[in-house]
Structure 1
Amino acid sequence: MTAVDQQGGFPEEAAHEGSLADSLHGLVRLLRLMQRNQATLAWCVAGCTVIAMAYYVAAPRFYSSTAKLLLIEQDPDSVSSVAEGGRADDLMATHRELVKSPVVLQNAISDLPPEHRIDLETINPSHWVEELGRGLSASTVRRTKFIQVSYKSRRPESAVAVVNAVINSYLHFVEETHRSTAAEVLDVLTIERDQLQSELLRKQKLLQEARERCGHLAIDQKDGVVDPMIGRAIHLNDALMEAQQRRLDLQGSLASVAMAMARGDDMRNYLSVVEEAVGEQMMLAALGLSHQDMEMLTSQQQRLMETQDELRRLSPHYGPNHPQIKELTEQVAALQQYLSSYHAASGSRYASINNGDLGPMIKRTLEQSVAQAMEQERILAESFEDARVNAARQSGDLVELDMRKREVERLESLHDVLFEKIAAVDIHQVQAPIRASIVEEPLPEETPVSPRFARLFGSALVGGVLLGAGIVFIRDQLDDRFASPDEMSQQLELPVLSVVRTLNPLPGTGLDAVHMHVDANSVEAEAFRTLRTSLTLRGEETERLVISSAEPSDGKTTVSSNLGVAFAQVGKRTLIIDADLRKPGMTSLMGLKGHAGVTDILICEGAIGALAERCLVKTGLDKLDVIPAGPRRPDAAELLSGPNFGELLAWAEGRYDQVLVDCPPVLAVSDAQIIGRLVDGVVVVVTPEKNHRRLVVRACDSFLHAGCHVHGVVANRISNKSEGGYGYGYGYGYGYGHSDEEERVEEKVEHDLSPVEPAAASWRRPTEGPADADRAA
C-alpha cells in the first residue's frame, strides 16, 4: 500500500489519472534503467551495427522497375467506366492477384529472353514460378483504378524485361479467357434458340388447330367481350328466369281471384290484380273503354291545369270583367264540366257492371295468361338447355385455347430474350471485359533498392536500442531488487531516511559492539546521525518508534542500537525495548540473556512502572537504557496484544524523550503490526542487496493495512563496490570526521539541520570526499 492508500485510498474519479501515472512511472523507471545500463545499450547497438554493416557489404544489390496500369471496365450497362463501391474494390483485388497468378507468371517466363533470366539461373526450372513470384509485387491504391507492378532483379534491364513480360502475359490471358468464354456462351445460346424455335412452331400449330376446332372468333378477351355462344346461353337463362317469375305471379293472382269468387267478394276490387297480370289495355277493353279515351281524358286534364295557371298569373293585373280574364274563366268552367261529365259516365258504367259477370271474366282472363306464360317458359327452357350444352363445350375449348395461347406467348418472349443475348455476345465477342492501359512504362533504376544504407542502419540502431532495453528489463525483472534510493522511494512512496554502509562486526558486547558508541566520528556513524536528524525534523510525532524489517537478518537490531546511541549523544533520554520475544537480537547484543525483561512485565500482575524499573538495565552511556526481552515465550503475539504492553509504553513515554522498540520482521510474525498501532510510527530497515522488491512492498503494505504510520525506510548494508550500475553506495569519503569541539557545536545546532534523503542514482558509487558528503546531507 502506498502513502495515498494510507490516507483512505484513491477517489473513484481519480482512477484513470492514477493508471496513467503508473504507466508514466513505469516508463520513467525503464528509461532510468537504460540510463544506468548505457554500456549494455552501447554494446547491443554496436553489435547490431556491425551485423548491419556486414550485411550491407556482403548482400547482393537488387534493382527495381515499376509499371502502372489503368483498368477500365467495358460494361455497356454501366454509366461510369469502373463500378463504384465494393464491386470496384473486388474487381481491382481480383486483377491484382491475377497479375501474380502462376498461369500468368508461367507465360511470362516463356516469353522472357534467356539473357534476362539472371535471377533464375541457379534455380531448378520447376521452381521458377515461385522464385519469380517472390520478387514480383502488385499493389492497388484504394478508390483508384491503378495497379502498380514491380519487380526486383540483380540487373536493372532484367527488372524492366520481367515487368513487361508479366504485363503482356496478363493482358493476353484476360483477352483469351474472355474470347473462349464468349464463344462457349454463344454456342450454348444458339443451341437453345434452335430448340426453342422448333418448340414454338409446334405450339403455334396446335394453337391454330384448337381455334379451327372450336370455331373461335378472334375476339380480344382483355376488352371484356364475351364469346357469342356463351353470351346466348346467358341471355336465354335471364329470359327463362323472367318467364318463370311471370308464371308464378299469374298463378298467384288466379288463386286469389278464385278464392274471392268462392267467398262472394266484390270482384271490382280485383280489377287492379287483372291490370297487373294482363295489362292496362286488356282491363280497359273488358270495361268497355279504350286507350284513346284515356289519352283524351289525360289531355283535357293537362289543358285544365294550364288554363288555371294562366288565370292565376293574370288575375293580379286585370279585373274580373277584362276580356282575357273572362275568356280564361269560361274555359276553366267548360273543362271542369267536361271532366265531371266523363267521370259521371264512367262511374255509372262501372256501377252497371254485374258482380256475377265480372268474376268469371277476370278468372278466364287470368287462366289464359297463365297458359301463355307456361308455354313461353317451356320454349325458353328447351332453348336454354341447348345453349348451355353448347356453351359448356365452347368453354372447355376456350380454356384449352387460352392455355395454348399463353404457351406460345411465353415461348415467343423467351425467343426474343435469347435473340438479344446472342446479339450482345456477338457484338462484344472481340472486346475484353476490362481494358488495361499502361500509364507508366517500366524504366531501369540505377540506384539499388536493396540493401539501402539509411534504412539498414536505422533499423540496426532501433533494433540495438530495443534489444538493449529488453535485456535491461529482463535482467531487472529477474533481479527484483531496488536499484537506487530514488527507485525505492518512488515504488514505496515513502522517503529513504538514511543509507547505512556495511558495518564490520566489533568485538565485545553491549555498547562496545555499537559503532555509534565506539567511533562516533566514523563515516559509518554519520548515517545514523542522518537518520536521527531525518526523524527529528519530519514535523511529526516520532518519540515512540518501532524499528522492524521485512525479513530476518536485515539489520534492524544494528539500526536500533546505533540510533538509540545517536539520540542519547544529543542529550535525549532514550529507552530501547527489545520486543522480539522469539529471537531477541538486542538482548544478545547487550549481553542480557537471562535477565528479566518484557516477557516478565507482560505476564505479571501489578504496577507496570514498578515492574519496568526492576527490568530496566542501565548502559554505559548516560541517558540510554534498555529493557531486554526476557525469557522466550511461544505466545508472544498474545502477550503483546494484552494491555500491559500499552501501559509499558505509557510509562516509558512519561520517563523518556525517545522510545525505540526493536520488533521482529513484519513478514515473519504479526508482533510488529500489533506494536506499531500503539506507537507514533514505524521505521522499516531494508537490505537492498538481499531483499526483493515485492517483499519490501508487502512489508510496508502490511503496516499500512494494520493502521500503522510508516515514517520511512532505512537502506542498510550498502557497499562501496560498483557492479555495472546496479551496486549500492552512498559516498562519504574515508577519513572524514569531527573534532570534539565540532561535535559540541553540532549538538547545539542539530535542530537546525535538514533531514538527509540520499539522491544517488544508484546504491553503489565511487567514494566521495567530505565536500560531496556535505552536499548529499
Structure 2
Amino acid sequence: MLVLVISLVVTLLMPPSFRATSKFQIKRPRPVMGIGTGEDVVASSNITDNYIPMQYSVLTSSEVLKVVSKKLNLAAEWGMTDDLAATNLAGMIKVSPLRATDLVDVIVSGPDPKLVQNIAKAVPEAYKQDREMRENRLVETAIKSLQDVLREQEDIVNDKMMALKKLIAENDYLPSTMYRSGDNRSVMTGAMEDEDFRNSKAQLMKFEKDEQELAAYVAEVQRLPDDKLMDYVTNSDLLNAEILAADSLRKTYQEYMEKDKERENLKAQNLGPKHPKMVALQETANILKEKLNKELVGLRSSLRSKLEMVTASRVKWAKIVAQKEEDLRRHVMKMPVYEQTSREYDTALDQLKTLDARYKDEIARLRVPRESIEMYDNPLLPTAPYKPDVTLNLAVGAVAGLLLGMGLALLLEFMDTSVKTMEDVERALQVPVLGIIPKNVPILHSAGSLGPDAEAYRILRTNIEFNKKGLEEISLTFVSGSAGEGKTTTLCNLAYICAQGGYATLMIDADLRRSKLHRYYELDNEAGLTSYLLEDYPLEEVIFQTPVENLYVMPAGPVPFDPSGALNSRKFSELLQEVKQRFDIVLVDSPPILGVSDSAVIVSEVDMTLMVVQPRKLPLKALLRQKQVIESVGGNLAGVVMNNVDITSDHQYQYYTTYYSYYSAESGASGGNADASSLKKAERSGKAKELAATQSNDNEDLY
C-alpha cells in the first residue's frame, strides 16, 4: 500500500509529456561504382549487413541533430549553443526499429506538442540531407578515381602498341608468319609448320624402315646357296610382293615342281627313263631349272637395285626433315615473343574499351537522383499527453508493492530460525514426533470425546505406548520452552483420552507458581501437592476424583515460598513411586523448562519426558537448549508433541492428520463440532463463566 500511494503521488506530480512519431523506411544505397567482375577497379560503397542498424545511430548523431537545431532555430529559442541543443534533442528522441523490416519509428517526447511534431518531422529530413551530402561526396570521389583509371589504361595501351611495333620492325619475317582477323587483332600460329615437319618425319621413318627390311633381305639372299635360296624365296613371305623378280621366280619354281611330280607318277607307272614321255618331261624340267638359275641371279640384282633406291630416298628425306626441324625451331623461338606482346596489347585495348563504355554508363547512372528514405507516416500533432499514465503507474506500483511485500516476507521467513515442520524437529533433536495436535483444540472432557481432535490424542497415546522402554515407565511430564505452547492443555486432554481407554490416570499439577488443573475440573486448590510435601497431608486427602471415570487430579495446593525447593525433595520422589503403584499412568504438569528450575527437578524424577513444541514460536537454539537441560539432569526425552498446528493452511501436515477427512462426515451427522472454541464447549457443560475467566487470564498457556 505504501508503494501504491507513493506511485499515485509521484504520478500526480509528474509534468505532462506529449509524443509525436514519424515512420519511414531507410533504403540501402546503390553501389557508387561497379566496374569489372570479380575485382572492381573503382571502390563501391561499403555496405555491410550492419548498415541499417548503423543508420539508427546516425539518426541521433550530433551532425544530424545540429541540422535539426538550425532548421528549427532551437539554439536561440533554448538559449544555448548548437552542440548543447543537439545534446538536448538526443534526450528527447527515441529510435525504435520495426523488427524484421527496414522501417523505423522516430519517437519525440516533450512538454510542447507543436515542438515535438516539428522535431519528428525535421529528423528524417535532416537525415536525408546529411546522407545525400555524404553520398554526393563519395560519387565525386568515385568519378575522379574512374577518370584516373581510364588515363592509366590509355598509357598502358600506348606502351603495348609501341612494343609491338618495335618487335615487328626488328624481325622482318614476322609479318609473313601471321595473319590479321577482325578488329585489327594479330593472331600468330605455328600449326602449319609443325604439321609439315611431322609429315616429313613420318615419311623419313617409312624409308628407314623399308631400307632396314631390304638390307636384311639382300644380306640373306647373298648368303644362301642356290638350292636353299630357292626354298627361302618360295616359302618366305618376307620378300616384298612389289619385287617382280621374286614373283616370277616363284611361278617358275612352281612349274618345275609340277613337272617333278609328273615324272614321279610316270615312274610309278613303271615307265623307264627312255620312254618318250619320260624323255620329254626331263627336257622340260631341265629348261625350267635353267630358267630358275637365271631368275635367281636377276633377283639378287633386283634387290640390290631397290635397296640403293630406298637408301637414296632415305638420305633425301633426312635432309628435308633436318631443314624443316630447323625452320620449326626458329619459328617456335621467335613467335612466342610476338604472340605475347600482341596478346598483351589486345588485352589492354579491350580493357580500355570496356572502361570507357562503363564510364559513360556510370556517369549517366550517377545523375539519377538517389532516394535515401521513404516516408510512411508523417507526425501528427498530439492532442493528449502520453505521460503520466495513471493506470499504468498505479498498476506498476501495485505490482512493485506486491513483489516488495513478497520479498520482505521471504526475507523474514529466511531470517526466521524457528522450527516449522516435524522434519525440522526430528532432524535437530534426533527424537521422534509422537503427536500432531491441531489448532484450537478445546478441553476434551468438556467438549466430548468424539471427533478428530480426540483422535489426535489417541494417536499420541498409542505412540507413547510404543515408545516406552518397559512396563515400569508410567510417569511422564510435558515441558516447553516458554509459556503459551499448550503443555497443560495437552496433558489434560491426553489424561482424558487415557482414562477413556480404561487406564487409571492421575494428573499431578506440579506447576506450583501458576497452577490451573483444579480450575478445569471445578476443584478447590486448598489442598494439593504442596500440602502433601510440606504439611504431611495423607495421599487420599490431596487426590480427587473427577467427573470422568478413571481420571484423578492432584492439585498444586497453596503456593510455597520456595517452589523449586519443595519439589527437589526426597518426599516428591517417594510420592511418584507411591502413585505409580496405584495408577496405570501418572501425568505431571510442569512450568516452562527454560524459565524456572522446577521443571528440571520434575524431569529428573519422571520416567519419560515429552517436549511440547509450537511451530514458528521458538528458535531452534531454544529447542536444543531444552534438550540439553533434560539430558543434563538425567531425564529421558522420549519424543516431541507438535501443538497448535494449522493443518488447514499448512499443507505439509495434512499427510499426518488425514483423520480429519475421515471424521468430517460423522461429525456433521452427529451434530457435534470438534473444531468449536473451548468457550462454547464449556457453555454446553455449564462451566462457561469460570472457564471464560480462566481463558482470559491464562490464554497464553492454553495454546
2:619 match: 691
**Alignment match of 1:403 (pick from 340, 350, 359):** 340
1:662 match: 609
- Give the Cα separation in 2 of the matches to 1:426 and 1:548: 109
Report the CA distance shift for 1:710/1:219 in structure 2 as closer, same or farther (over 3 A): farther
1:17 match: none
**Alignment match of 1:466 (pick from 392, 400, 403):** 403
Asked if structure 1 preserves the Cα contact closer than 8 Å seen for 2:445 and 2:496, the reply is no
- Give the Cα separation in 1 of the matches to 2:153 and 2:167: 21
- Give the Cα separation in 1 of the matches to 2:466 and 2:480: 22
Deviation, structure 1 residue 441: 2.0
Q: Give the AA of the match of 2:112.
A: R
Asked if structure 1 preserves the Cα contact closer than 8 Å seen for 2:18 and 2:116, the reply is yes
Aligned: 1:713 with 2:642: yes
- Give the Cα separation in 2 of the matches to 1:350 and 1:148: 128
Deviation, structure 1 residue 181: 0.9
Aligned: 1:150 with 2:78: no
Aligned: 1:217 with 2:174: no
- Give the Cα separation in 2 of the matches to 1:351 and 1:149: 127
> After the TM superposition, which residues 699-738 of structure 1 pair with which residues of structure 2 at under 5 Å, given as runs?
713-715=642-644, 737=682
**Alignment match of 2:93 (pick from 101, 117, 136):** 136
SS at match of 1:378: helix
SS at match of 1:411: helix
Report the CA distance shift for 1:432/1:484 in structure 2 as closer, same or farther (over 3 A): farther
SS at match of 1:428: helix
Aligned: 1:497 with 2:452: no
Asked if structure 1 preserves the Cα contact closer than 8 Å seen for 2:24 and 2:376, the reply is yes
1:536 match: 458
Aligned: 1:249 with 2:188: no
Asked if structure 2 preserves the Cα contact closer than 8 Å seen for 1:138 and 1:147, the reply is yes
Q: Give the AA of the match of 1:379.
A: K
Deviation larger for 131-140 or 455-464: 455-464
- Give the Cα separation in 1 of the matches to 2:76 and 2:495: 90
SS at match of 1:465: helix
Report the CA distance shift for 1:626/1:187 in structure 2 as closer, same or farther (over 3 A): closer
SS at match of 1:218: strand
SS at match of 1:162: helix
Report the CA distance shift for 1:474/1:188 in structure 2 as closer, same or farther (over 3 A): same
- Give the Cα separation in 2 of the matches to 1:562 and 1:284: 155
> CA-to-partner distance for each residue in 1:525-567, whole Å, 9 max, x for gaps?
999x997652227897664457899997797986786566445
Report the CA distance shift for 1:182/1:626 in structure 2 as closer, same or farther (over 3 A): closer
Asked if structure 1 preserves the Cα contact closer than 8 Å seen for 2:197 and 2:325, the reply is yes
1:650 match: none
- Give the Cα separation in 1 of the matches to 2:67 and 2:296: 120
Q: Give the AA of the match of 2:223.
A: M
- Give the Cα separation in 1 of the matches to 2:345 and 2:325: 30
Q: Give the AA of the match of 2:457.
A: L
- Give the Cα separation in 1 of the matches to 2:397 and 2:26: 40
2:15 match: 60
Q: Give the AA of the match of 1:166.
A: V
Deviation, structure 1 residue 497: 0.7
Asked if structure 2 preserves the Cα contact closer than 8 Å seen for 1:685 and 1:714, the reply is yes
Report the CA distance shift for 1:158/1:417 in structure 2 as closer, same or farther (over 3 A): same
Report the CA distance shift for 1:499/1:235 in structure 2 as closer, same or farther (over 3 A): closer
Deviation, structure 1 residue 249: 0.8
Report the CA distance shift for 1:561/1:183 in structure 2 as closer, same or farther (over 3 A): same
Q: Give the AA of the match of 1:394.
A: H
Aligned: 1:419 with 2:356: yes
Asked if structure 2 preserves the Cα contact closer than 8 Å seen for 1:532 and 1:566, the reply is no
> CA-to-partner distance for each residue in 1:120-140, whole Å, 9 max, x for gaps?
44x665433232111112222
Q: Give the AA of the match of 1:135.
A: M
1:195 match: 152
Report the CA distance shift for 1:187/1:255 in structure 2 as closer, same or farther (over 3 A): same
> CA-to-partner distance for each residue in 1:277-319, whole Å, 9 max, x for gaps?
4824465688999xxxxxxxxxxxxxxxxxxxxxxxxxxxxxx
- Give the Cα separation in 2 of the matches to 1:620 and 1:739: 36
SS at match of 1:371: helix
SS at match of 1:367: helix
Q: Give the AA of the match of 2:308.
A: A
2:651 match: none
- Give the Cα separation in 2 of the matches to 1:625 and 1:551: 18
Deviation, structure 1 residue 428: 2.8
Q: Give the AA of the match of 2:643.
A: V
1:439 match: 376
Q: Give the AA of the match of 2:642.
A: V
**Alignment match of 2:4 (pick from 39, 42, 45):** 45
**Alignment match of 2:63 (pick from 78, 83, 103):** 103
1:573 match: 504
Deviation, structure 1 residue 109: 1.8
Unaligned 5+ residue runs, structure 2? 33-46, 253-280, 426-431, 469-475, 509-562, 589-605, 628-636, 646-674, 689-693
Question: Normalising to structure 2: TM-score of the pair?
Answer: 0.59
Asked if structure 2 preserves the Cα contact closer than 8 Å seen for 1:63 and 1:159, the reply is yes
1:265 match: 228
Deviation, structure 1 residue 242: 0.9
Unaligned 5+ residue runs, structure 1? 1-41, 78-86, 290-343, 502-515, 578-586, 598-612, 628-658, 664-682, 700-707, 717-729, 744-766
Asked if structure 2 preserves the Cα contact closer than 8 Å seen for 1:92 and 1:140, the reply is no
Deviation, structure 1 residue 151: 1.1
Question: What percent of counterpart residues are identical?
Answer: 12
RMSD over aligned Cα atoms: 5.7
Asked if structure 2 preserves the Cα contact closer than 8 Å seen for 1:89 and 1:142, the reply is no
SS at match of 1:450: coil
Deviation, structure 1 residue 222: 14
Asked if structure 1 preserves the Cα contact closer than 8 Å seen for 2:241 and 2:247, the reply is no
> CA-to-partner distance for each residue in 1:684-738, whole Å, 9 max, x for gaps?
6336421359989xx9xxxxxxxx999962249xxxxxxxxxxxxx996779858
> CA-to-partner distance for each residue in 1:590-611, whole Å, 9 max, x for gaps?
94766999xxxxxxxxxxxxxx
SS at match of 1:447: coil
- Give the Cα separation in 1 of the matches to 2:623 and 2:358: 84
Deviation, structure 1 residue 196: 1.4
Deviation, structure 1 residue 360: 2.9
> After the TM superposition, which residues 221-232 of structure 1 pair with which residues of structure 2 at under 5 Å, given as runs?
227-232=191-196
Report the CA distance shift for 1:410/1:573 in structure 2 as closer, same or farther (over 3 A): farther
Asked if structure 1 preserves the Cα contact closer than 8 Å seen for 2:435 and 2:459, the reply is no
Deviation, structure 1 residue 68: 1.7
SS at match of 1:462: helix
> CA-to-partner distance for each residue in 1:731-772, whole Å, 9 max, x for gaps?
9677985899989xxxxxxxxxxxxxxxxxxxxxxx999xx9
Report the CA distance shift for 1:533/1:58 in structure 2 as closer, same or farther (over 3 A): closer
Report the CA distance shift for 1:242/1:470 in structure 2 as closer, same or farther (over 3 A): same
- Give the Cα separation in 2 of the matches to 1:457 and 1:567: 57
Asked if structure 1 preserves the Cα contact closer than 8 Å seen for 2:440 and 2:677, the reply is no
SS at match of 1:68: strand
- Give the Cα separation in 2 of the matches to 1:387 and 1:432: 68
Asked if structure 2 preserves the Cα contact closer than 8 Å seen for 1:137 and 1:149, the reply is yes
1:127 match: 84
Question: Normalising to structure 1: TM-score of the pair?
Answer: 0.54
1:669 match: none
- Give the Cα separation in 2 of the matches to 1:731 and 1:101: 75
Asked if structure 2 preserves the Cα contact closer than 8 Å seen for 1:45 and 1:465, the reply is no
Asked if structure 2 preserves the Cα contact closer than 8 Å seen for 1:258 and 1:363, the reply is yes
Asked if structure 2 preserves the Cα contact closer than 8 Å seen for 1:233 and 1:387, the reply is yes
Asked if structure 1 preserves the Cα contact closer than 8 Å seen for 2:200 and 2:320, the reply is yes
Report the CA distance shift for 1:686/1:56 in structure 2 as closer, same or farther (over 3 A): closer
